[in-house]
């Protein structure tokens, strides 16, 4: 391999590592998006369960602190992680009345939570995730 080819290969490799490393760091941290150490509880109707990687989402229609109905977006872990912890895609269904607790989003108007617990009082189902342990 010539010296010039070696230098070009090295520069391309370094550039690829720098670009790829930046993409890995672009993934948000929970503390950047949610208020750690605070928990919010909502009671409402499950509207949608979005079961996908890298994060699952639950949409719940529930009142905000002013009593106005909102669609809350609750972020959970990846489907595989949730399933390992006992929360599977067929466990919750649209129309279920649920009680959810989670870390609130930093922008209150977004009505976002990071999932801690979910309960369905109609049959006593209760799930407690790792975020609830912090």
pLDDT at 15 over 80: no
Distance from C-alpha of 118 to C-alpha of 90, rounded to nearest angstrom: 14
Distance from the first to the final alpha carbon of the chain: 54
> The domain 34-133 is classified under which CATH number: 3.40.50.280, 3.90.1150.10, 3.10.20.30, 2.40.50.1010?
2.40.50.1010
Q: Residue 10 above 60 pLDDT?
A: yes
Angstrom distance (rounded) from CA 94 to CA 96: 6
Structure tokens at 1: 């391999």
CB 127 within 8 A of CB 86: yes
Give the pLDDT confidence of 46-64 residue by residue, as tens digits. Answer: 999 999 999 999 999 999 9
Domain ranges of the chain: 1-28, 34-133
Q: How far apart are CA 62 and CA 102, in angstroms?
A: 14
What would the pLDDT profile of 63-95 be if each residue is shown by its tens digit?
Answer: 998 999 999 999 999 999 999 998 998 999 999
Mean pLDDT, all residues of the chain: 86
């Amino acid at each position: 391999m010539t010296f010039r080819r070696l230098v070009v290969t090295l520069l391309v490799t370094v550039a690829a590592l720098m670009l790829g490393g930046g993409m890995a760091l672009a993934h948000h941290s929970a503390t950047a998006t949610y208020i750690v150490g605070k928990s919010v509880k909502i009671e409402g109707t499950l509207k949608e369960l979005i079961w996908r990687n890298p994060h699952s989402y639950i949409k719940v229609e529930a009142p905000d602190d002013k009593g106005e109905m909102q669609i809350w977006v609750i972020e959970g872990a990846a489907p595989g992680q949730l399933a390992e912890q006992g929360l599977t895609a067929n466990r919750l269904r649209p129309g279920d009345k649920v009680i959810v607790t989670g870390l609130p989003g930093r922008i209150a108007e977004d009505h976002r939570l990071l999932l801690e617990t979910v309960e369905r009082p109609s049959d006593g189902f209760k799930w407690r995730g790792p975020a609830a342990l912090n």
